[in-house]
Amino acid sequence: MRLSVKNLSAFYGKKKILHDISFPDVRGGMIVGLLGPNASGKSTLMKCLSGEKKSKGDVVFDGENLHVVGGKRWSEKVATMPQTAPAPTALTPTELMWSTARALALPYSNRELSWKIERIFDDLGLSDFQLDALHTLSGGKRQLIGLALAFIREPELLLLDEPTSALDLHWRMIVLDLVKNKVQQSGSVSIAALHDLDLAARYCDLLALMENGKVIASGTPKEVLTRDNLARVYHVKTEIDLSKHGYPRVDVIGAI
Amino acid sequence: MVNILRPIDMMQTSTLEVEFSRLSRRRIFILSGLLAALVLSLWLDILAGPSGLSAGQIVDGLISPQSLELRHKIILWDVRLPDALIAIVVGAALGLSGIETQTVLDNPLASPFTLGVSSAAVLGASVAIVLLPTIPFVPPAFILPVLALIGALGSSCLILMVVRLSGGARETVILFGIALVFLCNAIASGFHLIADADALQQVVFWTIGNLTKAGWLEVAIVTCCFLVIFPFSLKHVWLLTLLRGGEAHARSTGINVSRLRTWVIIRASILAAFAVCFVGTIGFVGLVGPHIARLLLGEDHRMLVPGAVLCSALILSIASGLSKTLIPGVIIPVGILTAIVGVPLFLSLLVQRRRRPS
Ligand SMILES: Nc1ncnc2c1ncn2[C@@H]1O[C@H](COP(=O)(O)OP(=O)(O)OP(=O)(O)O)[C@@H](O)[C@H]1O
Ligand SMILES: [Mg+2]
């Protein structure tokens, strides 16, 4: 499986939000980290890649072009975890998972589906809450349910919009470990928007650094996480060294 | 480290399946209870009334109408039965359109009534009563419901236009609905100013809502409308449940939320239009019935949609029975009683829910 994004542009009204986004081809088994400050266009790019938002340019995944095959076919292969967690209603996580699977006509029997949901909840530490109302759950747990909703679709392209922003240290690691495992075992591709540079360096095979709707640097974490890039995009002074495990570690000294 | 390669035995039931199906069974049990209560209430509603028909006579009369003397036959078949049945079908229709509008607009106060459907119906009715127009091919007795229906459907069309133009933005739709309510009320008030006292009283009477004018034809029309629309609602129960997870989630799955919203608003307002055009604006049922169902059954629309239908039908049926029995010899307009029946029921459930630790 291979994802290629070339010259992708998108608008909100007349305002151009994404300017000819391209990044290196992504092979199956890889996690791509999208970095960039607030309002740099990460979520917009995610929505374009998922087909939720109209865009121009070439997005080709597994030999199929988004703009050729159309949204319906596309959404069979792609699942997005949006930046906002599921709404805090009286719905229970199980009902939400179940209705999502059924509304999208996923081809599982009831028994298979309940096994799949149970296992995902198990992995994400949600088993104790599976029949609680969403509005009684903490913000982090609801974010994990958002992730579970993407997992249940077993996508070939998994788009995660800040999947760990509300999670504690433990669950950040677990979640990205899980994603890494899934991606590597099934040869699928994941793209994750992240604000946490440490996680990005640790888990992503490729990084794309965005600013004002453009990708200004892309490549391996070592290539992208440089003092100059970070100073330019985030306006922070940093020192970068290599961790014991070989990935770059960013030490932020202060805002510029 | 999480092991994602655990083998699973698909033949065994998972604990989640066990718990989930236990919950579903409990909800089906509650639904059956509601259905039983509705049947009981229908029976009591047929029984209630001043003419001294005994339960035995009614059973006989239902099985073989010929066995009754003519006076009783007319009371049972032309008054009691259609009145009792219209209460149920109108309640069901308002409940269905209420629950669907609440869900697609993600607003607990939304209903076809807040979208202006009933105000437009009142406007149509006011025109009919005050101006006494004639419409070709429409018998005089039907001028009022026809104009009420035209008003209600007209307002639905306006709402729909706004849904389309705004791309299905919830707030815009709700705000426009409220604006429409004010507009229709203002125009209707203009007609009321020029109306004579008699016409004015008729308008007020119609606006309160009452079931006693309905006959079999009205029952049949509202029932057909409900039966045509209900399957579409059932087809959408998964989507509606999914939508309760939030618009961001729904859109991220590739579902066309705006289109779903448009469809639901179309069918909910048509249904509400037919429900109110014969019996007047019995508004409260469509708001509180769905909420009671929500408290009893949770948010799974497989259960909630039938539940809202049953709850609303039940409230209107109880109100219909009470309207004939509360003051002997007087039929109180049912629109007055729906709130008086519905509010205590609703409050008691709300309070219970508060007390119960979740
Ligand atoms: N619905 C919208 N209508 C108009 N403009 C929008 C809309 N959504 C986003 N934008 C604009 O698009 C630009 C990119 O926003 P986007 O949400 O993609 O940023 P982001 O990188 O995800 O930021 P964050 O880190 O804060 O999530 C911003 O300038 C924003 O104002
Ligand atoms: Mg974002």
CB atoms within 10 A of CB A128: 9
The best mutation among A40, A47, A84, A194 to test binding of ligand 1, ranked by most ligand atoms within 8 Å of the C-beta, falls on A40
Q: Take atom 1 of ligand 1 and give the residue whose Cα is closest.
A: A12
Closest ligand 1 atom to residue A47 Cα is: 18
Domains and CATH numbers, chain A: 2-90+155-255 (3.40.50.300)
> What tokens appear for B296 in the block?
């009893």
Query: How confident is the model at residue B10, as a pLDDT?
Result: 57
Query: How confident is the model at residue B6, as a pLDDT?
Result: 52
Q: How far is CA B330 from CA A229, B319, B326, in A?
A: 83, 14, 8
| CA dihedral of B130, B135, B137, B139, whole degrees rounded to 10 | 0
**Residue A211 Cβ contacting ligand 1 at under 6 Å:** no
Q: Is the separation of the CB atoms in B4 and A181 below 8 Å?
A: yes
Q: Is B98 left (phi over 0), alpha (psi -120 to 50) or beta?
A: alpha
Handedness of CA B30, B33, B37, B39 (dihedral sign): positive
- Whole-number Å distance, alpha carbon A43 to ligand 1 midpoint, is 7
Residue with tokens 């029921």: B345
Rounded CA gap, B128 and B203, in Å? 9
| Disruptive mutation site among B11, B16, B238, B303 for chain A (greatest number of A CBs within 10 Å) | B16
DSSP letter at A38 equals T
Q: Is residue B1 scored above 80 in pLDDT?
A: no
Rounded CA gap, A207 and B99, in Å? 46
**Residue A44 Cβ contacting ligand 1 at under 6 Å:** yes
Query: How confident is the model at residue A33, as a pLDDT?
Result: 97
Q: What is the pLDDT of residues B123-134, one digit of tens each?
A: 999 999 998 888
SS3 content of chain A, % helix, strand, coil (to 5): 40, 30, 30
Q: Is residue B63 scored above 90 in pLDDT?
A: no
Chain B residues with CB-CB distance to A95 below 8 A? 241, 298-300
Q: Is the separation of the CB atoms in A40 and A212 below 8 Å?
A: yes
**Residue A42 Cβ contacting ligand 1 at under 6 Å:** yes
Closest ligand 1 atom to residue A213 Cα is: 14
Q: Is residue B243 scored above 80 in pLDDT?
A: yes
pLDDT in tens, chain A (256 residues): 899 999 999 999 999 999 999 988 999 999 999 999 999 999 999 999 999 999 999 999 999 999 898 888 899 999 999 999 999 999 999 999 999 999 999 999 999 999 999 999 999 999 999 999 999 999 999 999 999 999 999 999 999 999 999 999 999 999 999 999 999 999 999 999 999 999 999 999 999 999 999 999 999 999 999 999 999 999 999 999 998 888 999 999 998 8
Query: How confident is the model at residue B109, as a pLDDT?
Result: 84
Question: Strand A64-65 and strand A189-193: pairing?
Answer: unpaired
Q: Which pTM does this prediction carry?
A: 0.91
Ligand showing the shortest atom-to-Cα distance for residue A52: 1
CA A90 to centroid of chain Cα atoms: 26
Q: Do A82 and B252 touch (CB under 8 A)?
A: yes
- Whole-number Å distance, alpha carbon A253 to ligand 2 midpoint, is 25
DSSP letter at A86 equals P
> What tokens appear for A245 in the block?
């495990």
Residue with tokens 């990205």: A176
**Residue A36 Cβ contacting ligand 1 at under 6 Å:** yes
**Residue A40 Cβ contacting ligand 1 at under 6 Å:** yes
CA A88 to centroid of chain Cα atoms: 21
**Residue A209 Cβ contacting ligand 1 at under 6 Å:** no
- If pLDDT is split at 50, 70 and 90, which confidence band does B8 have? low
List, in order, residues 6 or more apart from B22 with CB less than 8 Å away.
none
- If pLDDT is split at 50, 70 and 90, which confidence band does B205 have? confident
What ipTM score was computed for the predicted complex, to two decimals? 0.92
- Whole-number Å distance, alpha carbon A140 to ligand 2 midpoint, is 17
Instruction: Give B258→chain A minimum CA distance, Å.
Output: 12
Amino acid symbol at B191: F
**Residue A83 Cβ contacting ligand 1 at under 6 Å:** yes
Mean pLDDT of B217-240: 96
Chain B residues with CB-CB distance to A143 below 8 A? none
CB pairs under 8 A between A and B: 135
Residue A248, strand partner residues: A242
Q: Is the separation of the CB atoms in A172 and A147 below 8 Å?
A: no
Q: Looking at chain B, which residue has its C-alpha nearest residue A160? A: B252
Q: In what order do the strands lie in the sheet with A78-81?
A: A78-81, A157-161, A189-193, A31-35, A206-211, A214-219
Q: Is residue B209 scored above 80 in pLDDT?
A: yes
Identify the helix (H) or strand (E) that includes residue A220.
none
Q: What is the residue-averaged pLDDT of chain B?
A: 89
Closest CA to A197 of A249, A160, A140, A143: A249
Query: How confident is the model at residue A228, as a pLDDT?
Result: 94
Closest CA to A233 of A253, A211, A250: A211
Q: Looking at chain B, which residue has its C-alpha nearest residue A87? A: B246
Ligand showing the shortest atom-to-Cα distance for residue A19: 1
Query: How confident is the model at residue B356, as a pLDDT?
Result: 54
Chain A residues with CB-CB distance to B235 below 8 A? none
| Disruptive mutation site among B249, B296, B301 for chain A (greatest number of A CBs within 10 Å) | B249
Chain A residues with CB-CB distance to B15 below 8 A? 118
Q: What is the pLDDT of residues B135-167, one digit of tens each?
A: 888 888 889 999 999 999 999 899 888 888 887
Rounded CA gap, B248 and B257, in Å? 10
Rounded CA gap, B132 and B155, in Å? 22
Question: Strand A64-65 and strand A56-61: pairing?
Answer: antiparallel
Mean pLDDT of B182-198: 92
Q: Out of A51, A112, A149, whose CB is closest to B249?
A: A149
Rounded CA gap, A53 and B40, in Å? 52
Q: Out of B13, B238, B245, whose CB is closest to A86?
A: B245
Query: How confident is the model at residue B11, as a pLDDT?
Result: 64
Chain B residues with CB-CB distance to A92 below 8 A? 298-299
Return contacts of A15-20, CB within 8 angstroms, 24+ apart: A16/A213, A17/A41, A17/A44, A17/A213, A18/A44, A18/A45, A18/A48, A18/A55, A18/A213, A19/A212, A19/A213, A19/A214, A20/A57, A20/A214
DSSP letter at B75 equals I
Query: How confident is the model at residue B170, as a pLDDT?
Result: 86
CA B115 to centroid of chain Cα atoms: 14
Closest ligand 1 atom to residue A46 Cα is: 18
List, in order, residues 6 or more apart from A47 with CB less than 8 Å away.
A53, A80
Instruction: Give A153→chain B minimum CA distance, Å.
Output: 9
**Residue A43 Cβ contacting ligand 1 at under 6 Å:** yes
CB atoms within 10 A of CB A62: 13
Rounded CA gap, B236 and B259, in Å? 12
Q: Is the separation of the CB atoms in B216 and B344 below 8 Å?
A: no
**Which has more confidence, B236 or B71?**
B236
**Which has more confidence, B51 or A53?**
A53
Q: Is residue B2 scored above 50 in pLDDT?
A: no
Rounded CA gap, A222 and A238, in Å? 14
Rounded CA gap, B251 and A149, in Å? 13
Q: Is residue B9 scored above 70 in pLDDT?
A: no
Q: Looking at chain A, which residue has its C-alpha nearest residue B295? A: A90
Query: How confident is the model at residue B167, as a pLDDT?
Result: 79
Q: Is residue B226 scored above 90 in pLDDT?
A: yes
Ligand showing the shortest atom-to-Cα distance for residue A39: 1
Listed in sequence order, the DSSP H helices in chain A are 42-50, 66-69, 71-77, 93-103, 110-123, 139-151, 169-186, 197-203, 221-224, 227-234
Closest CA to B42 of B332, B313, B349: B313
Instruction: Give A246→chain B minimum CA distance, Å.
Output: 21
Residue A81, strand partner residues: A160
Q: Looking at chain B, which residue has its C-alpha nearest residue A74? A: B254
CA atoms within a 13 Å half-sphere pointing along the CA-CB vector of B278: 25
As separate numbers, helices (DSSP H) first and strands (DSSP E) second, chain B gives 15, 0
